Amino acid sequence: CGCAVFSYGSNLDSAFPVVSVQLSWSLRVNINGSSFFVDRSTLADNCEYFRALFQSGMRECREEEIQLHCVGVLGFLVLLQVLDGKQPVLNSDQIVEAIECTAFLQVPVLTKHLINIINSENCLLMYHTAATYGVWELTHSSALFIRDMYADLREDIHTLPNKLVEYIESLLPSSYMAVCSHSPSSKLLQDVQRTVCYLDEEHREWRVLTHLPGTTSTTMAGVAVLNNRLYIIGGVHDVNKKVVEKGFCYDPAANTWSTICGPQQLRYNFTLVGHEDYLYALGGEYNMKALSSVERYRVSNGSWSFVSPLPYPAASVVSAVAMNRMFICLWKGKGATDILEYIPEPDQWLLVTTLIRQHSYGLYMVAHKDNLYVMRNGPCDDFLLCVMDCYNLTSGQWTAISGQYGNSKGSLLTAVVRGDSVFTLSRHVTTEYTVDEYRWRVKCEMKGFGRIGSIHTFLMRLPKGSKCLLESPHVLDGLTVEQP
């Protein structure tokens, strides 16, 4: 295990099992009357406090026992679970002590876990506590989450100290974005609809942010956002499905497009996922043949490399990122859809669960908190009505979502989650749902996205200057166009 613990003399939360194993090269850690035997190398590899202690040459670094006075038992138990590869969902007391623990012991992996479990119920506690203890990454991530839910949390936000409120208000909120499928255009016949658009929620209208480069294709392309940059990879030139070999990147901060190299395997109709400083190109097709290969692009050095392939070939793979974990749906046939998770280390796909329904073809998937919402075709193969099932990652249980959801023109296939809201759109209407106790309730409706073709949607944080390119924008095909 590398992180087994032995504890006695404490009244511990039953959610944290205790293992009675003492390791050969272990350290006994005493906290408030409770004792734990923990592997020294695990502590040295993950905790700056212990790494410095063991390298200091002080008498304590050679002792078999150490007292910790600035860390609570609950926080240390959370730390041990996270070091053991678990991802516990925490209550308020555990959150406070875990933040105290990561602040004192300097544990990046624990800080990362806390960031991964930020939600509407704990974000204010995370933010205030992290700011108090000086855990900057968690403070910033919590503030960004709160900024995206500012309208819903307004009253609670203003119970925070003024400086914390001012920091939240200084941040940029996420905008719901969309781009339609377009083939490359010629200089002689430019397509004015080849644009990336954002939803102006105040005026409930769609506006144009930027024009696509002429050689970009969004038809059967991979589209994803990573580190607030938009990436469009691959796509086809025309009906002959000749692949666009270059990739394109849009930086909203600079309002500029740049090119990057495409994957080693030419592919179209594939899924592009931005996750942990990498872009992942999953499956797809080439020469009318489905692919199982997966490549990832490392932004820091601009290179593509193959990683573990999908269990079997698949195009248009359904994917979602929940709690910073990457999941996909693969249709097995005979009423079964597999949910798999990609584990970067040790580079493998793990089967999480299988959804078995008479009509279970997974059309789309989004994540909210520790839930995966899988949208699938309705009864009698009616693709204009979708039903949903929810899989909870913590409990491992499926829940059928009550009701059916209209899917005319593929609206649900554009779902994007921001805070407790889900945004979807079609040519006729943009709908914001509120996720509430395993049900989506309509919160408001806005102007539709009046374009023809498949639609890619995503979230980005847009600098204020990028939203006022013209003092007097004009309207084109139902969209407000702001020309650069």
326 or 406: which carries more pLDDT confidence? 326
pLDDT, average across residues 202-211 = 94
pLDDT for res 2: 40
* pLDDT at position 6 over 80: no
Distance CA 438, CA 82 (A): 27
Q: What ranges do the domains of the chain cover?
A: 31-170
User: For the segment 425-444, what is each residue's pLDDT rounded down to a tens digit?
Assistant: 988 899 999 998 778 999 99
| Preceding peptide of 379 cis, ω within 30° | no
* pLDDT at position 332 over 50: yes
Share of the chain above pLDDT 70, in %: 85
Q: CATH homologous superfamily for 31-170?
A: Potassium Channel Kv1.1; Chain A (3.30.710.10)
Residues facing residue 304 across a β-bridge = 297
Contact status, residue 61 vs residue 55, Cβ threshold 8 Å: yes
* pLDDT at position 58 over 50: yes
Distance CA 222, CA 272 (A): 5
pLDDT for res 409: 56
364 or 12: which carries more pLDDT confidence? 364
87 or 402: which carries more pLDDT confidence? 87
Spell out the residues 6+ positions from residue 403 whose beta carbon is closer than 8 angstroms to its own. 439
Share of the chain above pLDDT 90, in %: 67
User: For the segment 143-190, what is each residue's pLDDT rounded down to a tens digit?
Assistant: 999 999 999 999 999 999 999 999 999 999 999 999 999 888 766 556
- Report the amino acid identity of residue 234: G
How would residue 398 be classed by pLDDT, with cut points 50, 70 and 90?
very high
Structure pTM?
0.88
pLDDT for res 471: 32
* pLDDT at position 382 over 70: no
In sequence order, which ranges of 117-269 are alpha helices (DSSP H)?
Answer: 123-133, 136-148, 150-157, 162-170
How would residue 105 be classed by pLDDT, with cut points 50, 70 and 90?
very high
Spell out the residues 6+ positions from residue 319 whose beta carbon is closer than 8 angstroms to its own. 271, 273, 282, 326, 327, 328, 329, 365
Measured CA to CA in angstroms, residue 458 lies from 85, 248, 270, 417 at distances of 30, 16, 16, 9
Contact status, residue 282 vs residue 292, Cβ threshold 8 Å: no
How would residue 55 be classed by pLDDT, with cut points 50, 70 and 90?
confident
